[in-house]
A and B are shown apart, each in its own frame.
Chain A
């Protein structure tokens, strides 16, 4: 039995860890979607930029300075993207805003390509987080264990924030009815900016955890985690924060279990994520926690 656990535990551990990282990105997607009905394709790339910033900043300053600076710059980046690329299009068709998001994603990737020269950058090892640890015979990094705990704590704080604070209430109001909230005197622009700030903050934290675990940053590093996190958000019912978190953990764990099933299955580990998503959508067309959208006739 213990041999079985020893053989299988690593899959579960890495599944939980991956899930936690997806969750932090997925929240950014789900919050923006909840408020703007926009699939923010650039979110995964903001995450990648946070990783690159860390690489460059640690060469210039000590770790205790560079970590808060990375978070601050990432948040500023998110804020700027919203103001420059999304705000002017508030009255444009939804598709245009989405294309703008794809454009921002291209721009960030290509800038990263230009500055890094396309070479993989090695992410600095963060003391303690990068150390190895052995649990039940399985060796892993401490960050693997920290990720789910930190994720849950952050989500808990976020939910409190949204439930209790004034701006949190404004966010809920805007996500329920954009136009009416505007008429009721809610400052829509500051609510939207706040959403991006929170989303990018979580993406920056996510990138710290993610790249400590997988310490290589390339311009396309954000694409796959971004897509997976988006799938997780849809899976849980896009717009719902707990949904995004649960979806992320389910996807992270399933993916790694598939990888452990043997050589004929590993090929389909990504495809399986999508199969799972499609099955969920067919049973519940708006995800696990999504609100049922009914057309008023």
Chain B
């Protein structure tokens, strides 16, 4: 395999809560510059998989690599050692456990949005985006308090302004984030994620609650930001239309395990996927 390492490489990730396998032995690759989707019926474990990648949960077993370097790694130990029901219990046992906190992962260059929008509710649109720039600012608490970081602060504000302008949100800059209409809140959340200068953007059901027209706009928007910001995008979605329209490659999971993978056309015709979705899905 001489091709470039994928931006995100997930290997044998398993997440077991008590006796429940929320994610079971999931492996996938997200190559640079592509839009990859993870789909599955409700409760299939998509968000859990996201949370394992972004450090919100510590996976029970498995490895996540970012740009070829191990980012998350764990194996069943402690109480889990006996309870573990998955495979490859020994595969990662010889390497040290890596469990970074979410902010460390964001620092590496992965940003995310949330299924149930999580904007900072007491802040304005402008401040929401500006605050996301905090992580990468060259400053410390003293320089910030005594305003010796004025140049840095100015840069952050200008960049925020530019970002809002690009996302068509500038006219709402002084409004409270939570007072925006739903669709704009979604867009603001993406803008906030972009403010952390990510290489990889994880979108958790970006079209949830949108009507077909808004969904179509969103599809265009996602493709647009991928180009403009030179991003790789990994998303979870319910809306088949959206997924089929923009994805380069699709992984399907049900009950925590992968049931299919392939390009959109192949997935569309895959009997296992249709079975999993029939009667279960909202579509």
> B-contacting residues of A (Cβ < 8 Å)?
296-297
Bound complex: CA A54 to CA B212 (Å): 71
Chain A residues contacting B114 (CB-CB under 8 Å) are 297
Bound complex: CA A297 to CA B56 (Å): 8
Chief secondary structure at chain B's binding surface: loop
Chain B contributes a number of interface residues (CB within 8 A of A) equal to: 5
Chain A residues contacting B47 (CB-CB under 8 Å) are 297
Within 8 A of A (CB), among B80-131: 114, 116
B27 within 8 A of A: no
Number of A-B contacts (CB under 8 A): 5
Bound complex: CA A296 to CA B116 (Å): 9
B51 within 8 A of A: yes
Cβ contacts A to B, 5 pairs, < 8 Å: A296-B116, A297-B47, A297-B51, A297-B56, A297-B114
Bound complex: CA A297 to CA B117 (Å): 10
Bound complex: CA A297 to CA B114 (Å): 7
Chain B residues contacting A296 (CB-CB under 8 Å) are 116
For residue B210, give the distance in angstroms from its CB to the closest CB of chain A.
21
Chain A residues contacting B116 (CB-CB under 8 Å) are 296
B51 nearest in chain A by CB position: A297
B57 nearest in chain A by CB position: A297
Chain A residues contacting B56 (CB-CB under 8 Å) are 297
Chain A residues contacting B51 (CB-CB under 8 Å) are 297
For residue A58, give the distance in angstroms from its CB to the closest CB of chain B.
54
Bound complex: CA A297 to CA B51 (Å): 8
For residue A278, give the distance in angstroms from its CB to the closest CB of chain B.
23
B112 nearest in chain A by CB position: A297
Closest 5 CB pairs of A and B: A297-B56, A297-B51, A297-B114, A297-B47, A296-B116
Bound complex: CA A296 to CA B56 (Å): 10
Bound complex: CA A269 to CA B216 (Å): 67
For residue B6, give the distance in angstroms from its CB to the closest CB of chain A.
25
